[in-house]
Structure 1
Amino acid sequence: MAASLLGRLARTRAGVRTAMVVERAWPVVLPLILVASLFFSLSWFGLFQIMPGWMRWAVLCALGLGMLASLIGLRGLRFPVALEVDRRIEQINRLEHAPVATQTDRLAAGDGGPFAAALWREHQKRMAGRLSRVHGDLPRTSVPERDPWGLRAVAALLFVTAFAYSLGPYGGRIGDAFQPRPTAEATPARIDAWVTPPPYTGRAPIFLTAEANLEQQAFSVPQNSAIAVRVSGGSGEETLSIDDGREAVRDIEPEAGEGDGAMRRFSTLLASDGIVTLTGGGPALRQWQFTIIPDEAPQIRFSQEPKRAVNGALELNYEIEDDYGAVEAQAHFSLAEERPDARPLFDAPEVALRLPRSNAENGAAKSSADLTEHPWAGAATRLHLTVADAAGQTGRSEEETFVLPQRPFTNPLAKALIEQRRLLALDGNQQDRVGALMDALLLWPEETFEEPSHFLLISTVRSKLAQAGSDDALRQVVGDLWEIALIIEDGDLTAAERRLRQAQEALRQALEEGASDEEIAGLVDELRQAMQEFLREFAERAMQNQDFAQGENGQTMRESDLQRMLDQIEDLARSGARDQAQDLLSQLENMMNNLQAGRPQQGQGGQQSEMRQQMDQLGELMRRQQELMNETFRMDQQQRGQQGQQGEQGQQGEGQQQGRGQMPGQGQGQQGQGQGQPMTPEDLAEALRGLQGQQGALQGDLQSLLDGLEGLGIEPGEGFGEAGEAMGEAEGALGEGRGERAVGEQGRALEALRRGAQDMMNQMQQAMQGQQGEGQQGMRQGSNGRDPLGRPQSTTGPDFGDSVEVPDEIDTQRAREILEAIRRRLGDALSPELEKQYLERLLDMR
């Protein structure tokens, strides 16, 4: 019993002792714990990572001072002794007479004897009975009185929250407070550098920092190329310099608004060899070495001496050389004999020269200008040519001295007026002399003038000359003299010729500028009308023979040849072959410049006329066979498109959409035989069979032609026999609705007709040589039997289509289909941008 009581009492004492220790230590230790928890919270929240160095150290010092202040309170901390513990137990349990202390107390030695000892034991026993329900107590600190607002809970809450936050990816560490603030790793700056050659060079930009060029340090670029360097995300201290090895290193300033540190951009022109260096406030970041390709000045020179065309136009043949192509060329005139006291009324004529095409051999070019109306015409002049490139450099040719071509006048009165006009135009001081010469013309009008109106006109201009008191008035007199001379010489031919020139120039400019097909068609019609009017008036002056005229060197051409050239120019322009159309138009201009009136050769017998008729019939037969082959080809293509549409039903694609309505490049006239609905496969097969009759008629006409040739003593060659056989095969294929085979046989027939025609022409020439004189034979040999288009002359055979490189209908149709397909792809919003750029370059090709 006593042992258990003592054990229980010992446990109670231990508990009370602990409570008392807590009561005394907690108020002293709590500030230290709060300071420590605040330190851990700041560390775990990562605040020390973002604090500047001075702030971090200030916070640490404040926390350290707080901790030291907390430690000072520990000096007054005393742990409870046994007596204090017993008294606490007795106070808790409200025990009187110290029963707890009685259990451990001892009698003093030598006090009371046995009776006192027994009495003490009895007393302890009685006190022990009061300790049967003794208990301890909880600590009672003074913290609530010191912190009535419970701010200590905030520290605990921060501690717990910071600990949880520290487990995340952005949490801090305890050691952050004792480490310097981590500096963010410097992101390497992005450097973009490229060189853009001048636009006129046609060269693509060079991306210097591209992966393919990172290892390359040396580049060759055209002169005046622009280098641009852009630095993004750098330190803002980047600089760009260029060292050409001759002067001091030149720094390139950043562009305005680009030097804020976020992005810096530099740009300059490369005019000479040098090294461009990009630095970032220290070592060089990038360095490039450039070798400049110099831009040579253009050169121009005469390839032939200036010459006069038959109609008086000035023809200039020259060659232009430039490394990137010239942009402008001019012809400059000056008087060969300039008198210091002269007072010219008109400036020198100005002629802009045509530039050579990009694929022209040796840069050859040709220009013509009608200067016959200019007052300087007929005067000795000096001429030199100049050329300029896109860089502003110029070149000059050698100087040529010649007489400026003038319009030939056959009427003596007109010639006299032109001489007086030139005399007055070159020197206004010759006004009195010119007046005296005109008075001489008016002295005997009955013998001088054939028309009274001519006398009246000259009298009027003589009066104006006498009253002219200024250079403007004299210039008006010069213009009147020209008009009067034209009226006396040519009547109304000049107006038609001027309209023809204007129509030719308008069409040429439209082809160079890439005008639309509608505009080209309108200009061709205008040129056709002007040419018909010109030829009609020209033929009236050539003994009313408007069927044909002769070019230079006796080359014969018909009006139908000129009309065919116009049709070919229009077809080439529509198919996209603008260069070929310009070449053909230049040929036409040259032919009109050298046009002369022609007369039928006298003395040709009736047999030659019959031979010519037979050749014309053969040419017409070949033309009809060509048109029939083109029509067969179009129908066969349309039939194939219908079959392809039926075999691809249910599929989505561009080809199916084209098949539903219209073939690529097919015109409205080919759609459903001119109707709104497309033809069915059965209709197309029936249409092919409908061409069978036309093919049979051609075969019959060929046989009639062969019979006529035999009547003239000409033995038809093997080509005509093969042509008849091929026509029969084509007729059978058309009857069966097989268009592809029919086209092949028709092509074979056409080729055979050409061979037969060549053989027939050789036999006719042999027959005609026996009837014509040596002079006519020499003329044909001199012109090689060709007209200005390079085709056989009408006197030696028709045009068989093998002498001029002009696309036929099938080639033109294919070219149109390609152009239509390109335009559809460009109009498709879903087409890739890179593909659109490529297709646009195809359409811009010249």
Structure 2
Amino acid sequence: MADHNPEEREATSIKFDILKNIDRLRLSAWLMIALERLWPLLLPLLLVISVFLSVAWFGLFRLMPDLARQALLALFLLSIPVCVYLLLKFRLPRPSEITQRLENVNELAHQPITVQTEELAANSTDPFAQALWSEHRKRMATRIANLQSGLPQTRIAERDPWALRGVAALLLVIAFAFSGGPLGGRISDAFLSHAASNAIPPRIDAWVTPPRYTGRAPLFLTTASNSADTQFSVPQNSTLVVRIIGGSGSEALTQKLSDGKSVEIAARETPKIEDSATGKAAPRNFELTLDQNSSIDLVNGRSALSSWGFTIIPDQPPAIRFTKEPSSAINGTMDVFYEIKDDYGAIAAQAKIEQALPAEKDARPLYSAPELPLALPRRGEQAKETKTTKDLTQHPWSGSEIRMTLIASDDAKQEARSEVKTFVMPERPFANPLARALIEQRRNLALNANAKPNVLEMLDAITMWPEETIKNSSHYLGLRSVRSRLDLAKSDEQLREVVSYMWDVARGIEDGALSDAERRLRQAQEALKNAIEQGASQEEIEKRMAELRDAMKEFLREFAQKAQKNPNMAQNPNAKQLRQEDIDKMLNQIEELAKQGSKDQAQQLLSELENMMNNLQMGQQQQAQQGQQGQMKQQMDKLGELMRRQQDMMNQTHRLEQQRQQGMQQDFGEEQQGEQGEQGQMSEEDIAKALRDLQQGQGKLQSELGQLMKDLEGMGIKPGEGFGQAGKSMGEAGKSLGQADGDQALGQQSDALDALRRGGQDMMKQMQEAMGQEGQTGQGDQRQTGGRDPLGRPQRDGGPDDGTNTKVPGEIDIQRAREILDAIRKRLGNSLSPQMEKDYLERLLKFN
């Protein structure tokens, strides 16, 4: 029993190893049989898919017309069910087929593999049979120890003797590599209609056009130099254009903003006649404005074609400011000095003008604020001071107080404002009082049409006694015609016509003394100015320039003739500085600017030319009147010196009288101590003696006044009652000083000073009439005296005199006068000052 067990265990072990090896072989054989049966059935489907992919990747679908493409696609789609039907014939290998394959592959007879899995009949108890069976299995096991499953035998070569399957595989590999190139196709091409498919690969052109005002050139993104770059910096509001020619037509452009949002840009097809044979897609344009940082992606389906990133350079707002206070030229034109800053240059600038004082209640103005466009600096230049000259003297607002604000804007619609300046709008200076009065009424009517009754009354008042006030009959007729037109005017439009007519009449009254050459020059200048403002043609500009050149030559010829007759005119510095070549150069520049459309620069240069002519005319008038004015100025200086000495004597009398009343205890300050020195403590006798000493000086002033009156009579000027009253008051003051009555002398000296001022006003009026200026000096004198009388005070027709601007010509300047007024006010504010001193100081402030 012990011997039998080892043999049985050995037999069992051998059987187990054999069965294990057979199971592995059977699995391998099962796979081989399955592959042999499946591969011939699966190969047609793979070949169909391979051919389809090759046709798509080679781009053949895009080359075919729609009908051929659809037919081929249908053929492929129909072949798929056939191939799938073949797959249904597949059968899994049975165990007997696996055993048979192993035995056939290994050329085994007597079925040795089958023997290993079989058993003796259950009813067999014969030991010999069992031993024989066991021995047989052992012998069969030795035969299957090194079995092989063998290789699959699909027999494809028998079905495909030409190896077309290899060609299909080779084409598939080549097509896959070709699809990555620019001409490669896509699988989706088979399902796209001919209108959306194109055999030609898309050509992409992309560029960025900055705004024109930046002066920057377009940036081409698809050039060889920029193709490797993906990040660009462009000005704000630049336009990106992506143009696609060819392609499938399914390209899309997407903008990714900095906040993460994505916006799809719609394409705009350009008009193009399509080729019916090829059905190519029309070119498409994508346009969008770049106003913030973003990235742009161009894709075709899921394929990325191009990508760009843009950093936006913001457009900074402009800045404008005054560099100087607005001023006026000698002819009344306005000069505005300013500076404009902008990164790309301002596109427009203007001065906004409005009334400084609010309009009266229920006022009905006939005109709006004047327009004042400003000249712009050239683009790209550094910020510098710019000047604009504009003649607004004809506007009814001239002469009134206005507020001006400078406004500049750029191409990005950004606006800047300057600080506000308040000043009096320049006006044309009218020397003739009649013209000046008419201009004043014109302004009143233009600012308020409801003032029509008042203007009519003033015109009636002006023309009430024409025999005494209006020496020129044409001036009287002009004023009466203005009155008639105004009376008949009913609507605002008719009133505006009257306002314009009043300006013409005033100019006629003022310029009536002009020579023909001067009048023609002004008319030519005005005609050229209007032509430039209205944007006239080049022929019109040339015509107006020819008229201006002729008028200029005639004026200069007349001026030269007058200079030969009057030697004083040769001393005019304006005439020495003005040369014919300078005028010709300026005229040529004006003509070129006008033809080029630079209206603002041409107007500014024309205004400068007018200023030069006005300066020349003013110098002519000044030199012609120099001799007569010299004598009259000498007499005015004498009168000013006489008044100053009378003022000093009055001050001395006041100090002596105040010391008397204060009992010699009041200290009059450092200035008085310096004058009196050791006499700061004066007795009553000393004061009386000092007052009597002043009598001699007062008498000398009286005699000099008498000599001045005689000199005036020699010049044909009759001394007025003021001088006579002044001489009488001086004599009475001398008597009071001789009696040591300082208080009485102070009042008489004050009366003498007031009388001298009245006499000076009457003397000035007679001097003006003697010079033929009817009440006021001309433009040249007005420029020198500032519209003041010989004593330095504003004239009566220029407004009320408050007494604070009194000035003695040639002796006391403005700074000294201010110091005196400040000292007087300081003494008035001192609570310790005696009442008598305060009364005297108040009288000084009230002097007219």
- Class of the TM-score when normalised by the shorter of the 2 chains: 0.3 to 0.5
The two structures have a TM-score, normalised by structure 1, of 0.46
The two structures have a TM-score, normalised by structure 2, of 0.46
